[in-house]
Every structure is written in structure tokens, then in C-alpha cells.
Structure 1
Amino acid sequence: MDRYETSAIPVQIRLLLDSVDPEDTVLQEYVRFVAPNLLTQLATYSAKGGKAFLEKCRQEGYNYHDKPDQSMVAHVLNGIFPVMRIVRELERRDLLALNDVERKLYLTAYTLHDLDKIAGEKDLYQLGTSETREHLIQTLTAWIERLAIDRFFPEYVQFLDDLIYLILNTQDKYGTDALPYNYGIGKLAPRKRDFLRDLSNLSDVLNYLDDKQSDGNLLTSPANVCQGKLQKLLARLSQGQLRFAYHQLSTVTGLLTNLINNTILHLFRERGYIPLLFFPNGVVYLADNQKSVKDIADQLFEAVTKKISTACKQRLQQNLTGFTRDGKGMKFSHYYHNIFSVPELLSVAGLAVNKIIHDKKKPVSAERLATMRQMQKDGGKWAIPDEIELNYEASLDVDRLAEYLMVVEQVLSAIPKIADVDQKIMNSLGLADEYEHISVIPDKGGAKYRWYLAAGKYLQQHRGLDREELDAAMATIVQTIIDAYRPQIEQYENQRESFSFLRSYLQAIVDLDGTAIQGWQDFVKELEIYSSAHKSGRKTLMCSLCSTPYATDRQQETAVLFQPQVYSNKQPLNKQADRRGICDVCSLELMLRQILMKSRFQASGGNFENLKVKYLYLYPGYYFTTESARYVARFYQDSLKHLNLFKVTNALTGRQGFNIQDVLELEDFQIETEDEAEENGTDRFLKMELPKNDLATFFFFGIPSFEKEPSETESWVLPAFLALALPFVLTAKVVASECPLPLYATGNEFRETVILDAPHHFLMHILEQDRFRIDEVFNKLETLTAVFRMHLDVYSSKGKPNWNRINEIAMNLDTDRMYVFHYLMKLQRDQKWESLPRSVVTRYLHLYQLLQREGDMSIFKGLVDRYYVFYHPADFNSHNILRPVSTAIALTIKSDTDLSEEDAILEMIGEIKGSQERVHNKQAKGYAPIGGYDELAAIREFVEYFYHVTFQGYCRGERALLRERANRIKSGCEAYYLETHAPRKKNKEVVNNTDTDA
């Protein structure tokens, strides 16, 4: 079967194919044939930024702008997709007609326009001689075949001159050569060739606007895209009919700003604007030059609040998030008042009562009755008059009705101009005669006992009601009350404004195509709040999550995802109790996360904190195109559900390491079918669930620890792996953090591809840094995965990974990279292997190589390669393999400290020479491939290497340190010998028989 048949296409390519316009057959073919190779061949190449390039610039003293990272894959796809969308719009307007060959020529030229960077040849674009031209053609052809462009565009050979012209002239400055006689005749008409050059140039400029007007600004926010140069390019291509437009937010919170972006996006679309580029903080559109969006400002507040209510209402009715019950009754989050009308809220409350007080619950109505009787008996402060008859049949139905009536009273009493709610409720229950008696029952401890008595008496009068009949009766009771207060309720609904703070918030953060709505960030008020909150005996609360000029209130346990402040009776003088505040904006953001982030973990307060959630924030490589945003959204929703590190590390760590394709093809990164998704249950990750047909502009998700009582170590294992893997899977930048709000509004605010925000110290021991450029991410991913696999080798037990032990491994490896071989031998002892599988030896040697620091030298390689010149072990016994090394170590440890360097070397030479004589005389096992002076010279080279490099260098000339590291040195030498010099026996993968003291 062809590797490009549908069943063989990688999931990433299938998602891209689904995201690309199905009528654009050329682009569909490009994604099918070329994109798979882009993902695997160019993922680690840097188009912008990159550690290697920046280091080179610094070494050469070149004051180069420190650019944010962009991978070559993102650079290519970010240029192609929006320009092809522009081409389709130009064709729709009859401004352009490109045939399939011309489209393929443009796609090929832009894909390879940075061929000099890809090939690593700075002077590749020289056409001065036939030799340099031929070299360029050879390099170009090689990469065309490597990326399978020859399958996508087999006619490219006929257009080689045109192709080279377009490649060399995509950029405006560096490498350009527009002289026609340098390119031969060419098959394209000059006008069409120049038009394709403009397309390719537009693709490149969309990734980096480098001209005097923009001062070299990178296009990492919507406003930067709509600069003069880009507008001029588009105007020239569209004959003045099209322009770029945008909307932009000045901040990013996560879900709230996603909903705001989607609202504005919908309003722009209604006016004929075509979404083109997606940023975390806004969108760039393709717009008719005559159209305006000034009227959107007046509609925005109502549209956003409607969007929020619509998005949340159905989910709240299904999940009833934020409803809880304690000894004082039912509680629910304040945001229900903003989302539901009064009748809707009372209806939802009825559903919540039935959900929380389910049939497996133990009724508390009996306890309530006993308390009331005791209060009546005791008299005094809580006296209940003797004439009140305290008698009813305790049941769950009494609990349900009583709790519901409490909610009804709470909701209606909060409405202005509504009075005597409790009497109206009693009348609707048919207990008007009982009102005077029941209303005097006090609320001891906050519990409203009178409603339990009222519910009990009502159910005594209506015996035999089943659940459905009781629900219907409750609905009728509430409807009667609502009808009685309808004028007050309607007036309240008309006068109140849901999420009123959003009006000023939107005015402060939204920019509509270059015009702020009408407000600005109130820094003066923000400073006043900050100053007031830090005064002695302060009364103003500070938001726990942000600095803000918006109203801040005490957090509600039911409405936020972190644990409320722990309170204490011990307070300093002149200081109020510590309180954790939360502003209106952050409260709304966390409300949306409670409602719109799906996961099997439905927790709040302390239970949520115990999950030790780490968040991964996904930023585009400058921006997502419409196609790549759809691709990321589908992968985010349908693929990223769970991840098993046992399976992942086993799949990735092989004899020769792994490559990008292995990462892309991980089973846990594949799309599940509907049956598989249902079988596997809900996501283990906390992910956004936006309304259908909405496209997120900013993606993030939370990773709860899967352990019951996780440590900080365990909580960082999976986030660290995903942070390093997802840049290749999603062509994105990743920030991993414990902070529930994003640290950065856009990718322009940080330069690197991956940031681990305050990671656990075990990661710093392994990775040595917390920020990674695109060209170093894969090496760090491979290193981390290999260390994880080693940890699982030696410390997992009965399916439990025991991740806390990785701290020990990380610190040991940071102290001495040769600890790799300590764990290799530990694995052999634990598994009781008589011999080590060669694949295991190879894997641990590969890990050792990955961990090598700059300037490190493989000591055991130097030792084994040198002794193998004069000595070959006869078998795979550790004692025989390590004889020269063991001899040198033992003599050095036992040698007199006053012995001179030359005498110590001569003593070792003599001892090893004597051992070799026994080998020559067949008195000891082994082979001596050389003899005489050559053997003596080889022994001296081995001994001097051991003494100078191993003893004086690695062990700093300290015999105690050599004694402590001896086993690791010998284990490394043995592993290297088995992998490099041991003969490979047929049908046998295992190669040694290790003594325990090796």
C-alpha cells in the first residue's frame, strides 16, 4: 500500500487535511505529500532565533536582534496557509488566475526559500560560476527528494530556473539576485514570475516584518501584522481592493479572553471579514478596503455577556457546578445570579437539591427535629413556645423540600421591593394557619429549622407523594410565588446588568482595527488599591491572582479552584484577619474554568489543590493560521486525553534513541474513535470545552497528578515531558507553570520555545536549565525520556512508578554522569540477570552520551580502546573484561602517597606487563594480539591515560575519590566493551556474565 494512502497517513497529517479547504486540491496534495516530511525533517531546524545561531552571532561579535524562536516547520506553514487563502479570495474576485503548476511552483519555492539555513551553507546562493550553480542545484534537488516534493511536483525539473529565481528572491534583502541572465531562460512569463515572487515574499514577510517603518518588529501580535509594508504588498496583489484588519486584546486570561475573541470574531465575520491569523490576544482578518467595524464597539458588551451566559447555561444545568450543601443548608456560587434569570435559577436549584440529596444519603431531618425538641425543652435564648407541635416523619423528601424552600427564600429575599417571602412561601404550601407558630422558630447556628418543620407538615398533609409528584409540587409552589412577585422580579431583571464590570474591562483591553473602544487601564486606581491594601489595619483586599483596578472581594469556596485562606484566632494588633481576595475579572475567569473545563476531576477548594495541577499554555510560533488553529483544536479536544509514561518511555527509548517521527506516532497522541473515547472515559486532563463551532485563539490545559496524595516531584513528571514533546506535535511554543493564569499574553513576551516555570529541582538536575530554544528542545526531550526510562527500570514496582525516587537519580547524575552505569548494574542485580541484554547496554550508553556536558570526555571509552590494543578478554566474565582497569585502580588506591608520578606509572606498567606475560604463556585467560615493544608502548599509553585523565582528572588525584568511583568506572568500561568490542553471537542478544563486585 502506498505510504500516503489514508490509512497510512499520520494523525497530524489527517488533521491538517481535514483543516485545509477541500476544494483546494493542490494544497491538499501538498499537505499529503510534503507536510509529513516537513514535520519529521525540519522540526528541529530554527527559522528565527535558535541557540546555535545566536551563539554564533555572539562569538562573531555581531549585534543581532535576539529573536523569539520559530521553527522552520512553523515558518513554512505559517507562510503558505494564509497566502493560499488570499489567493483563493483574489480568484473569487477575478483578480488572479493561477493554474496548478504555478501554485505548486510557489509552494515549492517558499518551502525551500531558506535552503541555505536548512543545508547550513551560508554562501549557497552564489551563482557566480558554473560550479557554484551546479552545487546549488544538487543541494536543491537533494532536499526536494528528501521532502518528497518530487512526488508532489514531479514537473519541477522543467521549471528549475524559475524555481531558483523565486527561492533567491523571496526575501527583500539578503541573498536576492533579480538579474534575469543569472537564471537562464525560464518557462514562466516575467509578469507571472514576479507575481509568484510577490506571493512568496508576502509569505516570508508575514513571518517577519523587517523594514525601517516597523523597526524590525516580529509579527507576534495582530497590530504588528497590519503594518505599512504588508498593507502595500496586499494592496498591490489585490489592486487596492483588500487590506489587513485586526482586533487585539491587551491582556490574556485564558477562557474569558477566548470568549471575548470569539465574540469579536463572530461580529467581524458578520460584516464579511475573513479570519486569517490567530494570536492568543486577537485575530488578523482579510477585509474589503471599504468596510469598517466602528459599530462593533457599541454592541460588544451585550454580545460578550450573552456569549458567556449561553456558553455556561447549558453546562451548569447539566453539571450543577458550584452547588454544595453544609450544616447551614444549600450554597451556590454567586455567578448563577449573573447567568440565570430568577425563575431559571430557582428551577436549577431544584435540580441541584435532587442531585445532592440523593437516595443513598442519610436524612438529616430527624436530627433537625431532635434539635428543635431540645430547644423547646431547654427554653431560654432559643426557646420554642410549648404550644408549637414539633412532630413530623423524617425522610429524604423532607430534606429535599426544606433545603429547596431555603434557597427560594434566599433568592427572592435578595430582590429589592420584595417582602414577607417566608409568609408567601407558607401560603403556597397551604400552611398559612401555621405561619405564626413556625415563623418564630429561631435559626440556631445558621440552620433554618423552621423550613424543616414546614416541609414535614406539608408532606404529612400530602402523604404518598413519589419523587416525580414531589418535584411537580415543588415546581407549582415556586411558580405560585413567582406569579405573586412578578412585577418586582421583572423590574429587577430589567434593571440589573450581568457582569457589569465587563463594560469597563472591555473598554480598557479591546482594540478594534487600530481604535480602542473608549477606555484605558486605570493605573491610578490600581495604585490606590495596592497602597490601601498594604496599610496597617487595611480594609482593602488585594486580588490573589493579579494586580487590578477592578473591585476585589473575598473569595467563595464554591466559586474558585483554590483553597480558601486558613484562618486563625491569633492576629497581630492593628491588623485584620488574613483574607485572600479575588477581583471580578479573575473570579469570572475561574468561574468559566469551573464550568467550561471538562475532566473526570470535579473538585474545588482544598480537594482541587490536592491535585497539584500544573498548566500547559500553548503559544503559536508567532501565530496560528486558520488551518493550523483548527488542527490544534482537534488534536487538543480529541487526542490529548491521557498519557501513560510506562508505555511512552518504552516506545521511545530504543537501541539508537528515537527521532521526531517516533514522537509524532506515539499511541497516546493519536485520535480516538467515538467507541474508544467512550470506553476510556472522560479526559484526565482539564481542558476547555468551548461552544460548538467556536475556535479558541489560546489553548491551555491543566494536568492533575494521577497519584492519590501526590508530591511536588510526581506533579512535575508528566508536565515536563509534554512541555518538551508538544512543540513538535503541535508546532507550538509551550509554557509549563503552576500558575492558573497565563504568565504571558503572547509568544512575543518570551524568546524560547519551551519554558518550565519554577520546575521541581530534579528537572534542573537533569536538564540544567528551565528555558529551551527550538534547536535544543529535542535533545532535552530525549535526555529526560531516557532518564525516566532508567528510573522506571530500577525503581518501579508492581505497576507503581515511585517517582519520588527520581530525585535521588537526578542528583546522582548531576554529581557524576557515570552513575548511569551504577544504575545499569543495579538493574542487573535486581532482575537477577546472569547477563545483560545488549539492547539495555546500548540504551544506557546512549543515555550517558546524552548527559555529557561540554568538555566532558568518555573516560571508559579512552580506557577500553587503549587496553584493547594489547589485551582481548577470552570470555564475557567481568573479571576478565576489566583486568587491566581493575589492576590500575587497585594499584593506585594502595600506592604510597609519596610515590612520584613516574614511579606510580612504572609500577602499573610492570604489573600489567606481568599479567600480559601470563596471558602469553596461557596461564591466564585472554588474548594478546601484539607483543614485544609494541605491546609495552600500548601498555604505557593505557597507563598514562588512566593516571592523567582518570585519576588526576576525573578523581582530582584523590585516592578516596577513586575508591568511591571505582565501581562506576568499571561498570562503564564493561558496558562500553560489551557494546563496542564484544563479538556478537548468532541468535544471542546477551553478551556477558557479570560478577557482583564488578
Structure 2
Amino acid sequence: MKTLLQTLLLETLPHSLDSVLFNYINVVLPAVEQEFGRASTFCRTKSYWKTLTQEQNQTRQLISSDKHLNQSLLINILNSLLIVWSLIPLLNEELALSKDEKCLLCVWFTLQGYNSCYSSRVTAPLLTPDINLGEVLNLDMFWPQWREYLPEIDYLTQITLQNSDNNTSAKRNGFRVPDQRLRLTLHPLLSFSTIAAQLTSPVDIVTTSAGDRLPALLKELGIDRTLIYHRLRNCTGLLTNSIHNAVLNFTEKLNWQPILCFTEGVVYLAPRGFNLLNRMDLQQFIWEQISDQLVTNMLVGEIGFKRDGKGLKAAPQILELLSPAQLIQGLPSIVEATIKNEIDPATPKRLMNLSITTLERKFLSQGADLRSDRIAEFIIFLQKQFFRSNSEFIAWILEQLGIQSAITWEQAQIHTGGVNLGWYHAAAYYVANSPHLDLRSVTRKLQEIASRLTIWAEEKKLFPVLTSATREAFDRYLVQYLELPGWDSPESSFEHELATYMAAKTKAARQPICSLSSGEFVSEAQMASVVPFKPQQYSNKNPLGGRQLKRGISKIWSLEMLLRQAFWSFSPGKLEERQPVFLYFSPTFAHAPPVTKVIHILAKQLERVNLWKIRRFWQEHGMDANALRFYPWLKNELNSNEESQHNLTFLAMTYTTTKGKNNDRCLD
């Protein structure tokens, strides 16, 4: 039975995967998971420390305080191997590896893991292993002749980990692999991956001595590439993921190959002599990638819209991302997706507030249902957003419905309590006068009106010029936080943030400070169509001395909340009822690009997982964490083609509530 890690790797790695690596994942990786899954990269036994001299113990104390030593040994081995395999295709024909040399690399990393955990020797020779590694780690099945290469493994260990070419424990003339191959090919490969797997930030390649060694190792391997990075020095969640993925898509066209991935960004192998990225071009591309995703969901009514007692309301971002023509053309579909109160339509209640005769009320009751609701909300929304002060619009709509002789201009504009009752009156009359009109016909009619209205308004130049405060804030955000080599460093935003904060804290401030990010960016009032939380949650950021409970949200966090609605498919204001659990995947160290695909698919699968079943499974297996490796996490068949694009995913969500009857309602 395959483990979760095995399954994800085999599904996400290319079908043309090297046979040696494929065999390693199938045969050795499960044993490595078992032995090293919960070990760190530095977990020597007590007997090991007893053999150290006082000087060596002082060195040990310095090493053990290093944050690098908290890395998972299993993940360190896996990432190191995958990093090596990303370099192998770039080697020229003279340096190309044989099958035995590839096997040697795999065994070397595996034995270093064993040596890190269990060996009591200081110099780390493995000529006489303490345990039957061939059986415990399945090395005999993977590569039966691995013991014959122990001299090469010892030699590589000494020159790679100790950076020395002096070897007193092995006779070089007894090597099966030529000494030149060991020193000039395998040693640089092992050194590169060993160093790279310990980096904690993309900027380490230019700010640390370890990172400084990597270009020299590439030169030794004859790889004519340059290391370059991008970093985002801020994390919001899905917006961060989206920015990373947009940069990956942009650089892919420039032949930049991702080789190291981090929560903060990516390190690439770029062609030598590449041109620096133009900041404006990249910002435009990132914005298009993110806004296109939101626009797609907005135009089908999935995000940005909410209907309350006073009608259909749109998030401010709707009017900033969509042109008036786009919004009007998409409004029939939005109305259809948003207004679904067939059991309890609003039209009958609205008609009760009109002063009309009993006979007319009886006639209108034939059309007082969901059909009228949709027509009325469609017209009311258009008038509020684009034609509030245009008297021609009213007559034009009445004419399009063919009811201009029955409903007057004044009747169409009767308001009570902030609700336009007149358009409900007009909609009910139109429906009652068209007895065979069904919901599909209503949508088609609205689409017809929308197309004609767009042409009419454009001819009369009634549409406002499209502006986007969200785009402006997003560009400032990228200038402040997105970093690439060669770009000018932005000035500190402290003064701007302080001014924004002080202005928001005054009683005269119209908008409260952002409840999620404090005062870095100017905020606006939180809209129910944007924020997924219940009203008045997270309201601790109020003007000093004020009593009102008002929540603010910046344009940046509005984008984040809309992206969460788009990717996680939930209704705004109702998220907390489903008791969400947010899952953060934040690797501390560098990881190979294939692991990012594993994280992405796992995040998608965990959104559908049933936490109660996992709890029951865990209890049935004696609360053994190791048993969770074999839990059937992947409920849906993976589609490798669908997941082939770059995806840096470090945030997912699942729920603790269940649908239907279930006895497991609380966690013990």
C-alpha cells in the first residue's frame, strides 16, 4: 500500500520520470519515511556525543543552536534528491550520469540520513554500517550492489561535508567510479543540493556565504545559467499565492527555470545575460492574472454581490474591475445566480405598501413571484449604479418592457424606506401581462435589454470613466513588497502608514482603520459582499474615544477576501457557520518545485476531507501518527494534466461541520 507522500510524488512528477528516481520513490522512500519521518537533520544519539572532545562539543553547541537543524530529515533527503534531479538534465554529454552513478547519489543521501540519526562515529565513515541497512532501508531491493560502492560514498562524504580532498579511510585505486567523476561531477552535484536544501529564503543566494558558493558549483558542472530570485516580503494568504504564481507564469516565458521554492518566493536558473524584468510590465501581468480570475467569478455572480432587504448590492471592487458595459452585459447572469428566493419572493411584500385598487392588486398577484423579483432588482441596480440622475433611463426601460402606457414615470419611482417599490410594481405588471413567461425567458429578456442598454448608453456617452483605487493600491503594494534583483529598493512606508493610522483614529474619520492589517493602506467600510465574517466581528480598531462598532478593510485585504470567496466557494457572511479550519503550509526551508505541486494537490484534497473520519481512523489506530500516512486522504482521482501549471500554495481551508446526520459533532 502506497503512502500519501509516495502517491502524490508519483502523480505529480512527469511521466518521463527517470527510472532510477522512480524506483527510489517506490522502493526506498517508504522505509525512509518510517525511519526518518519524525527526525530532524541533526539528531545524534547520546553515544555519539560521548565520543566528542571538548573542542568538538563546543562546535556542537554552535551547530545545535542553528535554525537549520530543525529541518525534517525525511524532507531534507527528498528535497536534496529532487534538486539534484533538476540539475541532471542540464549537464552536457560528457558529464551525463550513468545509471550506477544515479543510484550512488540516491544511496549517498539515504546513508547520510542514517548517519545523522544513528551513527556513533565522528568522521562518519560508513564502510561497516551499524545495522543492516540493506534490509531496513530497502537498499538491497533498490540497488543490490550498493555495498560495493561504500568507498566512493565515504570519499564523497568527506570531500562534500568537510570540503576536503584528503581521504585516509579509502583507497582511491579501489573505486569503481573514476576519481575524476567523483570530484568533478558527483561532488559538485552533492554540494549544490546539500547547500541549497538548507537555505531558508530566496535572498540567501546573495546574502549568505553558503548561497555565494552555488554559482561556483554551477560553473564546475558546466551549467551556463545564472541564479536569480523573486521575493514577496509580505504574506496575506491566497493573494500571496496568486502573486507568486503570476511571477512564475511570467518568468516561464523567459526560460527561467524554478529550482528552489520558499514561502517568500522562488530561486530560478536564468539564461546567462538575461535582461532584468521591467517593473511596470510585471505589475501589469500580475494584475491581469488576479483580476481576470476575480472578473470571471464576478460575471457569474459567485463573488462580490449580496442581496439584503434593500436590494442587490455590489462590492466596490465590482465597479473597479468591470467596465460599465461588462457589468451590464453580465448582470442578467448575476441576477439569476444571486436572486433565488422562489419560496419567499419579495414582490408580494413590496406590493402591499402600494396604494392600488383591489382589482389591480389581484391582477398583479399573477406576476408577484421570483420572476418579478429578478426583473425589479435588475432595473433598480442599473439605476442606482449608472443612471440615478438620468430621467431618460426610466422611460427607456418602460418602453423596452412595453408597459409605458400602463405604468407612468411617477409610478415607477415610488420609494419607501429606501426601497424602490415602483420597479417592483412595473415588473409585476410585465410578468402578469405575460402569463407564459418562465425564469429562463426572464433571463433572456434581461439579456436582450442589457445588450440594447449598453449600445444606447455608449451612444449617449452616459458611462463614467473607469477608475480603480484597488489597482492603485495593489501597484503600491507590489512596489513596497515585491523584490527582484536590479529593482530599486522602495522607501519605507512608515510615514505613510503612520499618517493613515492617525487619520483613521480621529472621530472625524469617515472610514475606520483596517481590522486585518492596521493602518498601512487606506481603508473603506467593510461590505457584507466582501468580508466572509459575521457582522461586527474583529472590531477592535475603532476611533479613539468613539463608541461605534465599525469595521474597516483595506483594498489589499478586500482582494484577499474576494479571492477566498472565489477559490473556496462560500457565501459572504456565512463562512463561520461552517466552522472553517485554515490550513497553512509554510515550509521553513527550500524545497524542490515538484514538492510545490505536492503541496498544491494536497491542499486541494484537504479542502474536501472529512475531519471527523480522520479522528475516528486515528482513534482506531491507537493515536499513532505513523498510521496517518496510510489514511485514504485523496478522495478524487488526480488529474496530472490539470495540475501541470506552477502553483505555490501555502493556504487551504476545510470545515468541521458535516452535511446530514452525523454523531461525531465534537472533537474529544
The question of whether the paired residues in 1 share the 8 Å contact of 2:248 and 2:646 is answered with no
- In structure 1, the partner of 2:416 is 444
Q: Using the alignment, how far apart are the partners of 1:182 and 1:490 within structure 2?
A: 85
Matching of residue 259 in structure 1 with residue 242 in structure 2: yes
The question of whether the paired residues in 2 share the 8 Å contact of 1:543 and 1:582 is answered with yes
Q: Which runs of 5+ in 2 are unaligned?
A: none
**1:31-70 deviation line (CA, Å, top 9, x unaligned):** 12211111111111111599999x9999977345341521
SS at match of 2:95: coil
Q: Using the alignment, how far apart are the partners of 1:565 and 1:105 within structure 2?
A: 61
| Cα drift, residue 639 of structure 1 | 5.9
Q: How does 1:530-609 map to 2 (within 5 A)?
A: 530-535=501-506, 538-539=509-510, 541-565=512-536, 575=546, 577-598=548-569, 602-605=570-573, 607-609=574-576
Q: Which runs of 4+ in 1 moved over 6 A?
A: 49-53, 55-61, 388-391, 488-491, 571-574
Q: Using the alignment, how far apart are the partners of 1:555 and 1:654 within structure 2?
A: 46
Q: How does 1:366-385 map to 2 (within 5 A)?
A: 366-373=348-355
**1:226-260 deviation line (CA, Å, top 9, x unaligned):** 53211222222226x11211111111111111111
Matching of residue 191 in structure 1 with residue 180 in structure 2: yes
Against the structure 1 CA distance between its residues 440 and 666, is the aligned structure 2 distance closer, same or farther, given a 3 Å change threshold? closer
Q: Using the alignment, how far apart are the partners of 2:167 and 2:565 within structure 1?
A: 62
Matching of residue 348 in structure 1 with residue 330 in structure 2: yes
The question of whether the paired residues in 1 share the 8 Å contact of 2:516 and 2:557 is answered with yes
**1:848-896 deviation line (CA, Å, top 9, x unaligned):** xxxxxxxxxxxxxxxxxxxxxxxxxxxxxxxxxxxxxxxxxxxxxxxxx
The question of whether the paired residues in 2 share the 8 Å contact of 1:619 and 1:698 is answered with no
- In structure 2, the partner of 1:275 is 258
**1:705-757 deviation line (CA, Å, top 9, x unaligned):** 3279xxxxxxxxxxxxxxxxxxxxxxxxxxxxxxxxxxxxxxxxxxxxxxxxx
Matching of residue 221 in structure 1 with residue 221 in structure 2: no
- In structure 1, the partner of 2:95 is 96
Against the structure 1 CA distance between its residues 392 and 333, is the aligned structure 2 distance closer, same or farther, given a 3 Å change threshold? same
**TM-score, normalization by structure 2:** 0.86
The question of whether the paired residues in 1 share the 8 Å contact of 2:232 and 2:483 is answered with yes
Matching of residue 289 in structure 1 with residue 289 in structure 2: no
SS at match of 1:248: strand
Q: Using the alignment, how far apart are the partners of 1:251 and 1:612 within structure 2?
A: 27
- In structure 1, the partner of 2:40 is 46
The question of whether the paired residues in 2 share the 8 Å contact of 1:261 and 1:697 is answered with yes
Tell which has more relative contact order, 1 or 2 (C-alpha 8 A, sep 6+).
2
Q: Which has the larger radius of gyration?
A: 1
Matching of residue 17 in structure 1 with residue 10 in structure 2: yes
- In structure 1, the partner of 2:81 is 80
Letter in 2 for 1:695: H
**1:486-533 deviation line (CA, Å, top 9, x unaligned):** 156697466667633211111111112x23366445111111222333
| Cα drift, residue 85 of structure 1 | 0.9
- In structure 1, the partner of 2:316 is 334
The one of 625, 631, 638 aligned to 1:666 = 631
SS at match of 2:22: helix
- In structure 1, the partner of 2:397 is 425
- In structure 2, the partner of 1:412 is 386
Q: How does 1:91-490 map to 2 (within 5 A)?
A: 91=92, 94=93, 96-123=95-122, 125=124, 136-139=126-129, 142-172=132-162, 178-179=166-167, 182-185=170-173, 186-194=175-183, 195-208=185-198, 219-226=199-206, 227-238=211-222, 241-295=224-278, 297-318=279-300, 320-358=302-340, 360-373=342-355, 392-393=364-365, 394-396=367-369, 397-413=371-387, 420-432=392-404, 437-438=409-410, 441-459=413-431, 461-487=433-459
| Cα drift, residue 137 of structure 1 | 2.2
| Cα drift, residue 162 of structure 1 | 1.0
- In structure 1, the partner of 2:495 is 524
- In structure 2, the partner of 1:701 is 652
Matching of residue 28 in structure 1 with residue 14 in structure 2: no
Letter in 1 for 2:192: L
| Cα drift, residue 122 of structure 1 | 4.6
The question of whether the paired residues in 2 share the 8 Å contact of 1:428 and 1:481 is answered with no
The one of 587, 604, 620 aligned to 2:587 = 620
**1:269-288 deviation line (CA, Å, top 9, x unaligned):** 10111111221221111122
SS at match of 2:312: strand
Letter in 2 for 1:183: K
How many residues end up aligned between the 2 structures? Answer: 646
Against the structure 1 CA distance between its residues 438 and 694, is the aligned structure 2 distance closer, same or farther, given a 3 Å change threshold? farther
SS at match of 2:575: helix
Q: Using the alignment, how far apart are the partners of 1:71 and 1:203 within structure 2?
A: 15
| Cα drift, residue 573 of structure 1 | 11
**1:68-90 deviation line (CA, Å, top 9, x unaligned):** 52111111111111121111122
Matching of residue 633 in structure 1 with residue 590 in structure 2: no
The question of whether the paired residues in 2 share the 8 Å contact of 1:276 and 1:285 is answered with yes
The question of whether the paired residues in 1 share the 8 Å contact of 2:294 and 2:566 is answered with yes
Letter in 2 for 1:193: L
Against the structure 1 CA distance between its residues 640 and 558, is the aligned structure 2 distance closer, same or farther, given a 3 Å change threshold? closer
Against the structure 1 CA distance between its residues 541 and 629, is the aligned structure 2 distance closer, same or farther, given a 3 Å change threshold? same
**TM-score, normalization by structure 1:** 0.59
- In structure 2, the partner of 1:952 is none
Q: Using the alignment, how far apart are the partners of 1:140 and 1:83 within structure 2?
A: 28
Against the structure 1 CA distance between its residues 103 and 298, is the aligned structure 2 distance closer, same or farther, given a 3 Å change threshold? same
Q: Which runs of 5+ in 1 are unaligned?
A: 1-7, 127-135, 209-218, 378-387, 678-689, 709-797, 807-998
Q: Using the alignment, how far apart are the partners of 1:231 and 1:623 within structure 2?
A: 17
Against the structure 1 CA distance between its residues 236 and 801, is the aligned structure 2 distance closer, same or farther, given a 3 Å change threshold? same
